[in-house]
């Protein structure tokens, strides 16, 4: 049993690359929550460029139309992180 406990401690000490945790205490509005969820989704998909490639691929395969593609691009990129 001690080996399992050691493994658990060591596993918890490893910095995980795709481990996303959301701090709900700092979010005050639904809009902030929506922004965090979108950013987490983009990060999970591989980042903004990967997301743009997926949108373009879906449009090329005619799964989404050009209008939906344009809306998705503006919704899931740049506008999420205003400067």
Q: Could you read off the pLDDT of 9-21 as tens digits, one per residue? A: 888 787 666 666 7
At residue 80, the pLDDT reads 58
Q: Which residue has the higher pLDDT, 16 or 81?
A: 16
Q: What does the chain come to in residues? A: 83
At residue 36, the pLDDT reads 83
Neighbours of 36 (CB within 10 A): 17
At residue 19, the pLDDT reads 65
Quickly state the pLDDT bin for 63 (edges 50, 70, 90): very high
Which residue is associated with the tokens 């481990």?
19
């Amino acid at each position: 049993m001690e080996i399992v406990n050691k493994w658990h401690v060591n596993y918890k000490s490893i910095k995980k690359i795709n481990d996303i945790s959301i701090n709900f205490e700092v979010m005050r509005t639904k809009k902030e929550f929506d922004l965090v969820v979108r950013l987490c989704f983009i990060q999970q998909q591989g980042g903004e460029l990967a997301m743009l490639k997926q949108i373009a691929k879906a449009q090329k395969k005619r799964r989404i139309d050009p209008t939906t593609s344009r809306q998705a691009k503006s919704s899931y990129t740049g506008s999420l992180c205003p400067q």
